[in-house]
Amino acid sequence: DVVVTQTPLSLSVTPGQPASISCRSSQSLLHTDGKTYLYWYLQKPGQPPQLLIYEVSNRFSGVPDRFSGSGSGTDFTLKISRVEAEDVGIYYCMQSIKLPEITFGQGTRLEIK
Amino acid sequence: QVQLVQSGAELKKPGASVKVACKSSGYTFTKYYIHWVRQAPGQGLEWMGIINPNGGGTAYAQKFQGRINMTSDTSTSTVYVELKSLRSDDTAIYFCAREDQYTAYWGQGSLVTVSS
């Protein structure tokens, strides 16, 4: 199984300040097709996860450009350049290199100071 | 627009079974696999399995082998997950999600509560 580990598990950020979340996988997420199957989601209370970033660094439609993803192989980062109040929730990374199985990180809770 | 609409909340007794529905619209139902993912109260996301609506092929997480069954009904564009021999730790929100390049389309979730 591919294990995905996120750090930190919680984050408290002042509005307008940056935030960063790390995701590490137990094996490379680089597929032989050249794509890297690492995704970032935000789950707000009472809602399903909403996609922010796909394939490491591609923002999904409608996602603000203050969100960015980077990394390669086994180490990945989600950055929020300037946190806003609407960014509160739990952030998950997800891998799908070993389809059909997908696995998620433990989640990182972001709160506003 | 793509939509996945799930069935409502369920309250079940330990040992019973539950069947949750996920109805798709806005795309060709048979073109995309559907994942089932669950989330226990205050916990993270756990993959349960996947179904190919075109033919009904499935793959399940080892943890649920023997007590899970996923099915599809192409006439109503609906997939189902049935979990048997329910325990209290099966209390969770159950989500369906479409497998594609993005895995961006999720159902709203169905709360299953297992309590005597």
pLDDT digits (tens, 9 = 90+) for A2-55: 999 999 999 999 999 999 999 999 999 999 999 999 999 999 999 999 999 999
Give the integer Cα–Cα distance in Å for A74 and A49.
Answer: 22
The verdict on a CB contact (< 8 Å) between B45 and A48 is no
Residues A95/A54, Cβ–Cβ less than 8 Å: no
Of the candidates B44, B95, B99, which has its C-beta nearest A106's C-beta? B44
Q: What is the band of A1 on the pLDDT scale with cuts at 50, 70, 90?
A: confident
Round the average pLDDT of chain B to a whole number and report it.
97
- List of chain A residues whose C-beta atoms are within 8 Å of the C-beta of residue B37: 102
Longest dimension (CA), chain B: 41
Q: For residue B102, is pLDDT > 90?
A: no
pLDDT on residue A93: 98
Q: For residue A72, is pLDDT > 90?
A: yes
CA dihedral B85, B87, B91, B96 (to 10 degrees): -30
For the segment A57-74, the average pLDDT, to the nearest whole number, is: 97
For the stretch B43-71, pLDDT in tens is 999 999 999 999 989 999 999 999 999 99
**Closest CA of chain A from B26, distance in Å:** 17
pLDDT on residue B12: 98
Q: For residue B26, is pLDDT > 90?
A: yes
